[in-house]
Amino acid sequence: MLDVTPTSSTIVSPDLGSTQELVETPAPVLAPIPIATPVAIDEEVNNSFFSFGYSKRKNDAITVTPGYEIQFENSVFKQIQFTQEFQDIFIGLGVDVGDDVNDVLSVFGMIGIKEWSILVEKSKISGVIKTDFVKNNVVLSTFKDNKYTDVKILRSFKQYNKPGEIAGTPSCIGFQFINYERPTVVKAQDIDYYDPKAKLKFYGFVFELDTVKKKLSSGIKLDRHDWYFYNTTSFGYGTLEFSDQTRNGSKQLSKPIESEYSSLGLNGEYELGYLYAPTFWGNQAVLKVGYLFEVEGPLAFSFAEDGDVNPNEQIINHGVNITLAFAF
């Protein structure tokens, strides 16, 4: 601001021989102008998130051992998720159920502090291993309540553009560990070995992309009609070890020479679809309809010189996925 307070002084006029008071206005003095400093932009965070999903899937095998099929007992999934935030801390719970509401397929929990979070999922998987080498797709083996554990440690990244808007795509990166009693078929020394409970362990670097959930939770308005894409991809190193029954030859006529295999692998889920996002009482809800592909694996990349893929049975689950979600 300008300081223009007038001051007075007395001068003598040579023509009139008298004194006269003259008011002087000094040159303007510039006051310091405050300089804006960058500040962190707070998000208009919605503290609660809820979603309900319905999915009907089928599984297809990708294998270099033709003639075998792995079928899961459950093909219908209903998923419920809830997340609650308390300032810098947030927790989440979820459950998958089958056709029967009492048939719990998996449960998961999540806890996070600021941009860090840990997710743990535990499931039980049942089904059969079949072969079409003989008529009527004979069942070779049945697996029941195979244990599946998935652990993710994630760091979330968000790039701010201007107040109330996130520039770019929210994403998470981190580490994933999978421990799985996995039904599998392996070909070695020209012999096909099937194992209903092989022990699989996988360690990978994971990248996640879930723009719909993150925008809802952050108070960012979605377009009323739009396309969406969901992706979680993990690339890493895995090992597969035969169960004691297979190693001892009880499932086949001969014992396998090798009982443990390892390779690089890929694990992931990918969903593409369309969403409708109306607003009710100041809060936005989202209805998503998409098609989901899930690598049931991980999908292995083999470096075996003899042509055998270790392990060689890979499964792709896929189907329509419908989700209703809202944040408040």
* Token digits of residue 123: 């499931």
User: How high is the pLDDT of residue 234?
Assistant: 92
User: How high is the pLDDT of residue 304?
Assistant: 53
With a cut of 50, which residues of the chain have pLDDT below it? 1-43, 159-168, 305, 307, 309
Count other C-beta atoms under 10 Å from residue 72's C-beta. 19
Beta carbons of 289 and 264 less than 8 angstroms apart:
no
Residues 6+ apart with CB under 8 A from 72: 59, 125, 126, 127, 317
Give pLDDT tens digits for 27-86: 444 444 443 333 333 445 557 889 999 988 877 665 556 677 778 887 788 899 998 888
User: How high is the pLDDT of residue 71?
Assistant: 80
According to CATH, the topology of domain 45-327 is Lipocalin (2.40.128)
Tell the burial category of 261 from Cβ atoms under 10 Å away from its Cβ (0-12, 13-18, 19+): buried
User: How high is the pLDDT of residue 61?
Assistant: 60
Beta carbons of 68 and 193 less than 8 angstroms apart:
no
46 φ, ψ (degrees, to nearest 5): -85, 130
- The closest alpha carbon to 115, from 178, 43, 163, 39, belongs to 43
Q: Three-state secondary structure along 195-256?
A: EEEEEEEEEEEEEEEEHHHHHHHCCCCCCCEEEEEEEEEEEEEEEEECCHHHHCCCCCCCCC
Domain ranges in the chain?
45-327
